[in-house]
Structure 1
Amino acid sequence: MIGNNYLSVNSLTKYIKRKFDADPYLRNVFVKGELSNVKIHPSGHIYFTLKDDKSRIQSAMFRTAASNLKFKPEEGMNVLITGDVSVYEASGQYQLYVQSMQPDGVGSLYLAYEQLKTELAKEGLFDMKWKQSLPLLPRTIGVITAQSGAALRDICSTIQRRYPLASIVLFPAIVQGPQAAPSIVQSIRQALEHGSIDVLIIGRGGGSIEDLWAFNEEQVARAIFSCRIPTISAVGHETDTTIADLVADMRAPTPTAAAELAVPSREELFERILDRKRSIYTAFSNQIKHERKRLTHYKQSYPLQFPERLYRPFTERLSGLDNRLVRMRSELTSARLADHARLERMLLFYSPNHKIREGIRNNSLLTERLTRAIHQELRNKNERFNTFVRMMKAVNPMDIMDRGFSIVYKDGSVANSVTDLHIGEGVQIKLQDGLVDSVITAIKADVKEDEK
């Protein structure tokens, strides 16, 4: 019976928990203190110890309440908390269940801004090495902003005035409120999928930090950093600086200024073209003058006055190389032929039938020499015979008469002179084909040159 008067630990704990839960002073408690042992669970729950210089209490902030935080709880941070006090049955400890939390002494949005800024800066998202250059002559400008906002009107009117050749593609987005950040990220993805956007302007008009907070969200910052399109951030007024401004490739103080950065001015382009035209004309004129001077100088130079002297050394060198090539080829051929003959002789010398072949070769050589000698001797004898025949024909009187000559005989002897003949004497004239008897009727002697 005595044992029935004792409570179990669980019963006692539940009783104490009901007492805590029934106490109205333990509901919606406002507590301030310092955060310690902060643990952010992957599920989204946050567990920590809230303390002051004298006491501490275990605290928990579940995912639903933690999702509304604008900053990240950190060790040593002084905070203002609203929540309920109850008992955690498993350990029998009382703890504070936090419903809301804000920094003590500084705004939660500002603290969240500074925390994310520090984190992204450590990762290098603000480094200039990642910044993309804006194209000089963009064809298509993408704009992410509210469809009915004044920012869109300012951007469109500025682009049409400065550079009407560019087309504008609007990717409407929610720019204020809880749905703003996902909407902006989705619009950035649509711009990337479009495929022909040259410059992307992301922004909205001015407002409070709460109004501009979507552009301080981490998901927006990372989407802008990952965007392959050169991006201009134009959020708020000149004094407003958001995380999007720091991550973007270029920051504009206003939407109008963003449009001016995105496209060139027609007047500036015309002036630049004229300047470029003048520069090109001047450069070409100077180049032509310079080349003319060079041409005149070259015309008057010694090599062009005597061009043959310019290439004469090369011609001589070519001739020398050609002769050297011919000589080397001849020498190389002779050397190879000599080597071949030497090897052939060696092969013949060391051959078993060398003597027989040598005898046959000598016999052939001697036969050939004898034949040549006999032929030569016959030719010599024939030439001598022909020479004698020609000589005999030359002195043969009969051959002379074939050419119209005749011989005069007196008393059977040849008459050599007119002094041997007298008028009325009979003579015989020998012709080619016969003998003629004649009587001398007149004699005419030739007058010699010395008697004239």
Structure 2
Amino acid sequence: MKNPTVVSVSQLNRYVKSLLESDHVLSGLMVRGEISNFTRHYKSGHLYFTLKDDSAAVKAVMFRSYAARVPFSPENGMSVIVSGSVSLYERDGSYQFYVTDMQPDGIGALHLAYEQLKAKLAAEGLFDEARKRPLPPYPERIGIVTSEGAAALQDMLNILSRRYPAATVVLCPAQVQGAGAARTLIDGIRALNAAKACDLIIIGRGGGSIEDLWAFNDEALARAIAASGIPVISAVGHETDFTIADFAADLRAPTPSAAAELAVPNMADLQYYLADLGARCHGAVVRRIEGTELRLRQLRAGLTTPEGVLRACGLRLDALEREIRAGVLQRLDGARNRLQYLGALVEERSPMKILSRGYSLTSADGRTVLSAEQVKPGDLLTTRVADGEILSKVTGTNRRTT
């Protein structure tokens, strides 16, 4: 009979470890289980936990480099599917599962991360209605944080110029999807606040998948929106798309076009309101004069005192009448001057007035040309000036570098 080989504990554990790691079934494994005894090491960033089901359990570890890629926060009691391999921890002689990827069981990782962040910020009061600021009724400058070449930007510019040409648009270009997009959006909001460049900020983009819109679910962006000293309208995607930025903003618009509608009043409505206000003021003044005159006549008719008293009262009444008429006329003049000023302001800021100063507006295929990069040689341009339109063809472009 062959004598058995005597090995050390270290040799035994090392050999068992090699057996486990050489088994192909155990090296590319996916395991479903419930997390318990969860610990995130505060120094190393590694995750330590136990995976269990109704009848068994196994220790698991996920090193920091892999843990950093998990978009949600693992918790005790959460059902997950993990990928990785089985090996032996030689020092203790215990085998454990080394996790390289983790997904929630039955729900998408991005959706879970979204719900976790939404619940966290809501608990902090970041979405409370009480902290939301009212929008300015007549903004003079509107800051827009979005992609410079986006169709959504062109839609907003067209609506703002049509509804309220008196406002100036301040564009702060930003990346709206992909790695680093959230940082450029944050920088845009902070830059507009630091320069006090506008009265209102619109941040947003057109529609897309949850991955395309994910930059607007960034925690730091939500906090930057909440901390903005300038009111913010969030306009991300379509009506059915909701992002964390929508909840943090002072107002959510279902689309970028709707944001432009909500940001400014309609100039035509303002002109109608001013005309109606002037008519009502005039009517009120006329009624006041007629009522006063009637009262004076009634007072004169009711006097039965001696002649001297009558003359004194008559003089007093005449003085009162002159004083009332002067006051009423003064109010009429003030109202008339105010209406003339508002009418002149509307006329001064109208698009045709701007064109009459020598400015022009160039478009290609119905879209306003804002940059030399929008056109190429051969494109047909329409340039609108005060007394008509000029048709031209692009022969070349020169882009200013400074």
1:167 aligns with 2:177: no
Distance 1:162 1:33, change over 3 A: same
Paired with 2:179 and 2:276, the residues of 1 have a C-alpha distance of 51
1:251 aligns with 2:255: no
* CA radius of gyration, larger in: 1
Residue matched to 2:94? 93
Paired with 2:36 and 2:91, the residues of 1 have a C-alpha distance of 22
1:241 aligns with 2:235: no
Q: Map of 1:23-102 to 2, 5 A cutoff?
A: 23-43=23-43, 44-102=45-103
1:266 aligns with 2:235: no
Q: Do the aligned partners of 2:89 and 2:96 also contact (CA within 8 Å) in 1?
A: yes
Give 1:296 deviation, angstroms.
6.7
Task: Name the SS of the counterpart of 2:87 in structure 1.
Answer: strand
Give 1:286 deviation, angstroms.
4.1
- 1:267 maps to amino acid: A
For 1:42-85, what per-residue CA distance to the aligned partner results, in whole angstroms no more than 9, with x for missing partners?
Answer: 34332221111111111122222222222211221111111122
TM-score (norm 2): 0.69
Over the aligned positions, Cα root-mean-square deviation in angstroms equals 2.7
Distance 1:97 1:278, change over 3 A: farther
For 1:280-321, what per-residue CA distance to the aligned partner results, in whole angstroms no more than 9, with x for missing partners?
Answer: 333434444555567678887999x69x9xxxxxxxxxxxxx
Task: Name the SS of the counterpart of 1:142 in structure 2.
Answer: strand
Larger relative helix fraction? 1
Task: Name the SS of the counterpart of 1:98 in structure 2.
Answer: strand
Q: Map of 1:422-437 to 2, 5 A cutoff?
A: none
1:275 aligns with 2:276: yes
Structure 2: runs of 5 or more not aligned: 313-402
- 1:39 maps to amino acid: T
Q: Map of 1:10-409 to 2, 5 A cutoff?
A: 10-43=10-43, 44-289=45-290
Q: Do the aligned partners of 2:170 and 2:197 also contact (CA within 8 Å) in 1?
A: no
Distance 1:291 1:14, change over 3 A: farther
For 1:244-275, what per-residue CA distance to the aligned partner results, in whole angstroms no more than 9, with x for missing partners?
Answer: 11111011111111011111111111112222
Q: Do the aligned partners of 2:193 and 2:229 also contact (CA within 8 Å) in 1?
A: yes
Report how many residues are paired. Answer: 304
Paired with 1:301 and 1:104, the residues of 2 have a C-alpha distance of 97
Task: Name the SS of the counterpart of 2:277 in structure 1.
Answer: helix
Paired with 1:33 and 1:42, the residues of 2 have a C-alpha distance of 24
Paired with 2:288 and 2:201, the residues of 1 have a C-alpha distance of 43
- 2:251 maps to amino acid: M
Distance 1:163 1:30, change over 3 A: same
Paired with 1:15 and 1:117, the residues of 2 have a C-alpha distance of 48
TM-score (norm 1): 0.62
The structure showing larger relative contact order (alpha-carbon pairs under 8 Å, at least 6 residues apart) is 2
Give 1:187 deviation, angstroms.
1.6
For 1:83-138, what per-residue CA distance to the aligned partner results, in whole angstroms no more than 9, with x for missing partners?
Answer: 12222334332222211111111111111111111122211112111111111111
Identity of aligned residues (%): 49
Paired with 1:194 and 1:261, the residues of 2 have a C-alpha distance of 24
Task: Name the SS of the counterpart of 2:14 in structure 1.
Answer: helix
Paired with 1:59 and 1:301, the residues of 2 have a C-alpha distance of 107
Give 1:15 deviation, angstroms.
3.2
Distance 1:94 1:234, change over 3 A: same
Structure 1: runs of 5 or more not aligned: 309-452
Give 1:178 deviation, angstroms.
2.4
